[in-house]
Each structure stands twice: as structure tokens, then as C-alpha cells.
Amino acid sequence: MKLEPMLATLADAPFHRPGWVYEEKYDGIRGLAVRMGGQVQLWSRNMIDRSAHYPAIVEALKKLPGGDFLLDGEVVVFDAKGVSRFQLWQHGDVPVFMVFDCVVKDGESLMAWPWAERRKALEAVVPEADDGPLRRSRVLELDGLKAYAFAVKHGWEGIIAKDAGSTYESGKRSRSWLKVKIRKESELVIGGFTAPKGSREDFGALLVGLFDGEALRYCGKVGTGFTAKTLREVSAQLKKLVVAQAPFGEVPAFRDATWVKPKLVAQLAFHEWTGDGKLRHPVFLGLRDDKAAEDCTWATREK
């Protein structure tokens, strides 16, 4: 029982529409939980089996009532204030599976059901809880503008607006789900790194870009956000990918650069895009292996 998850489209600004609902937007890794015949698997959005990584979540899923199911959600780590933070994955904190959709219940596909009915099905499967490894996503009983203001006040990444009458569109980036971001984050491809300076070891900064056609378009360098542990871990992966030729279409002028095959994807936070297509004040949050490098393109950088 596999399917490609439904994806949200980025909205330009917060809004309110009658018949829509507003959920917390989580900053984690997409997860599709499947139970068949009592056996549970947890898949990433690119169909990597994550079950062994999250034993507590898998055990909690096994104990849920009913029969076979497929649940859609996000595996996240919360900070001390209850805000999901992707960078906390670096520190080995305890993950939580926040479930926001029920696509199959008791072996029956609910994809053609409206969101509101699927939510009722989800609530029948996943008990309400404020702690533990398995929880329901938070739906805000507010209009869209007030929901956005609430998210800003509490430091969330953003909100997801959903048409309560919409069906589940597998594998589609739908306009029935719209995400309104507060924090700017994006996934970029690592094309090289600079030499370390001062007391830092392993490397100085990552040189990152996005595919623009077949060429990698240089978007800037990121040298902050690393711990000693992540420096070592990222460096170990970079050393396996070293090449002689720069992967960028227009090669950035760094005397101390080492080039790598454009295979690794980094999650970055940043202030804004500059007029010439560079990241302003980027910060490294972590590596992602649930998204292919070729999917990180200039055309879809705000998706």
C-alpha cells in the first residue's frame, strides 16, 4: 500500500476564505504510515522506509484501533516552547509523528472523501494527545488571518490552509492545500565547499545552488548553523563526492574551493532572496535525504 503524498502550493500572503480550515505548518520530514495485517511501515515522501529510525512511533501506530490504514503526516522535533525545528534533528532529540490526514481506513480508500470527513476518520483512529510519539495535527479554530497572527505570535514556521471540501490528490501539488510561510526556508544543492579558517575544522562554508535547466545555478555560501558534530558528518559525505570540475554553470570565484558532485541537499533558513538570485544571511539547518537533488530547481525555489 503505497502512494505519493499530496503537496501544498505556496501562497503569496495570508488570507481567509469561507469553507477553509487552517492547520499548524510543521518543520520536519513528511511521513506516510502504513499498517497492513498488523505490520507497520513508515515511508518518507520519496518512498524511503524510515521504520527502523522511529521505533517508538512504529509501536504507537501498531497499537491504534481498527484495521489497515494509511496515515499522512510529518515527523518533527519540538523545541522547549513546542515549536517544530528541523535543525533539532542534528541533536538527536525525540521525534513525534504529527498526523494530518487519513487516506485509508480499515482497508478502504478515503481519497475521494472531502477533507472534513477524512479528518473525522483520522480522529477515530488517532486518539487526542498532548505528548507521546503520535499526535494529531493542530487545527486552529480561527479565520485565516487570525490563524496566521497566532502562528506569528508563537514562532511557527507557518500555517497550512485547506479546502474542507477537497479530495486527497495523490502526487499533486494542489491549490486545495495552500501553505503560508512565516520563516523562510529552502532546500538547496551542495556543489562545493571552502577550506576551514581559524579554529574551525572540516570545511569553512558550503557553496550551494539550484538547477536551472541542466546547470547548477550558484545561489551563495553558508557557513553558519553547524555544530562540531554536523561539520564532521557533512564533511564525511562531501569527501566521497569530490570532483575536479565545478558543477556550477557560472563558477563562483573561490580560490580555496573544493567541488563535489551535486548530490547532497541542504535545508537552509535565510532572510530573503537578493535581486541577483543569492541567499541573504543563510543558516544551515541539516541535510535532507528525502528529496532528490534534481528536484531542487530555480523554477520551483518558492514551492
Which residues are identified as catalytic? 25
Q: How many CA atoms lie within 13 A of 267 on its CB side?
A: 20
**DSSP code at position 15:** -
- CA 169 – CA 172 distance, rounded (Å): 6
Residues with Cβ within 8 Å of 26's Cβ and at least 6 positions away in sequence, in order, are 74, 76, 84, 98, 137, 157
DSSP letter string, 132-161: SSEEEPPEESS-HHHHHHHHHHTT-SEEEE
Please count the other Cβ atoms lying within 10 Å of the Cβ belonging to residue 195.
Answer: 14
Grid cell for residue 113: 472523501
Grid cell for residue 158: 507557518
Asked whether the beta carbons of 206 and 189 are under 8 A apart, the reply is: no
**DSSP code at position 86:** G
Please count the other Cβ atoms lying within 10 Å of the Cβ belonging to residue 56.
Answer: 14
Asked whether the beta carbons of 222 and 266 are under 8 A apart, the reply is: yes
Three-state DSSP at 278 gives coil
Strands (E), the chain: 7-10, 20-25, 29-36, 39-43, 69-76, 96-105, 108-109, 134-136, 139-140, 158-163, 173-181, 185-193, 206-212, 215-222, 242-243, 258-260, 265-269, 272-273, 279-280, 283-288
